[in-house]
Chain A
């Protein structure tokens, strides 16, 4: 079949953005549709966690610090959020979206050298973000905010922790692809693998865009 031949073999060298390796009713590969469906459903997960956080944003009196400075029974309780620090880690995650899309672009052009550079940069920026989150959690804990300290702390750690797990999974995916690339197991005709991992990574970024605004910046 002519179309099958086009997508499976000859198209790789000269038509690097053609991904579909099998016939589908939609004209989009099943893997890609599945990833988008997963991302749409993941919106529900994070929507639920963000809503829970909004409901429990302020801890009850005597249950440790809250996100920002509060008055508790007439006394000032200092908030735990460090906005300048979180802003820097947010910039790192945002920049990782650029390096991720450049990695996708590189493999679609067949440029494996740049693919490795951008994949490595994306993983490194993700690692900086996760390191920042670990530091932040540690600092909060030292300030008396454990997971069960208050309804605020439980909601906050659950929300940002789930996001951190997503980022960590993304880093593992990126490092796996980097390893495949070095071993020559990531040719141009498998560029969709990088693109789908990229979709996941960008989703992690857009979720953080919402978390950063709603959780950290809105008082």
Chain B
């Protein structure tokens, strides 16, 4: 292709001319659609605070629901707004490698601190059977209202 032809080139650029950096030309319409989805998910997230009687928003279902919604939002922003969908795979590998490594490391740290099960000084419960040592019993004096047994909350 001659230099003159390149000068009069119009419209979206073929991938070959971009060294494979971008596969297709992103449209503003796609960004708006993506934002609408993000907005809707955020509304659902906020509703979890107000609609506490909804089955998915209470008890053991609440945390997985919120984490899933946050993960979907995270992915949509990274995939569309940050152009991982359009850019070379190398960038996705770099970013997601860092992300996965970070998550694994901190899951390990939280496991070390026994955050996943009751009986440590971080978890709220003043009931004796969940405390593993006397020193922990002394520190377990704070409980969120939502985690108290009904008779205690009353």
Contact = CB atoms under 8 A, between A and B. Distances in A.
B133 interface: no
Contact of A27 (B21, B45, B78, B147): B21
Contacts of A44: 98, 101-102, 105
Contacts of B34: 98
Contacts of B45: 212-213, 217
B84 to A, nearest CB: 9
In this complex, the interface size class of chain B, counting residues with CB under 8 Å from chain A, is: 35 or more
B46 A87 contact: yes
B94 A54 contact: no
A70 B99 contact: no
B139 interface: yes
Interface in A1-25: 2, 5-6, 10-11, 13-15, 17-20
A202 interface: yes
Contact of A69 (B13, B74, B80, B144): B144
Contact of A51 (B13, B28, B80, B106): B106
Interface string B100-117: 011101100110010100
A95 interface: yes
B31 A105 contact: yes
A60 B139 contact: yes
Contacts of B67: 213-214, 218
B144 A217 contact: no
A219 B146 contact: yes
A129 to B, nearest CB: 14
Interface in A149-172: none
A206 B77 contact: yes
Nearest to A3: B19
A34 B29 CA distance: 29
Contacts of A47: 102-103, 105-106
B144 A219 contact: yes
B142 A83 contact: no
Looking at chain A's contact residues, is the secondary structure mostly helix, strand, loop, or mixed? helix
B90 A15 contact: no
A14 B8 contact: yes
A36 B94 contact: yes
B39 interface: yes
A68 B148 CA distance: 13
Given A47-B102, A210-B70, 18 more contacts: A6-B17, A14-B8, A15-B6, A18-B18, A26-B90, A27-B20, A36-B91, A40-B98, A47-B106, A48-B106, A87-B46, A98-B31, A101-B80, A101-B81, A202-B77, A209-B70, A212-B70, A213-B69
21 contacts: A11-B6, A26-B88, A33-B94, A36-B95, A40-B94, A40-B95, A44-B105, A48-B106, A51-B109, A69-B144, A84-B46, A98-B35, A105-B26, A206-B78, A209-B74, A210-B74, A213-B45, A213-B70, A217-B49, A218-B62, A219-B144
Interface of B: 3, 6-10, 12-13, 17-22, 25-26, 28, 31-32, 34-35, 38-39, 42, 45-46, 48-49, 62-63, 66-67, 69-70, 73-74, 77-78, 80-83, 87-88, 90-91, 94-95, 97-99, 101-103, 105-106, 109-110, 113, 115, 122, 124, 139, 141-148, 152-153
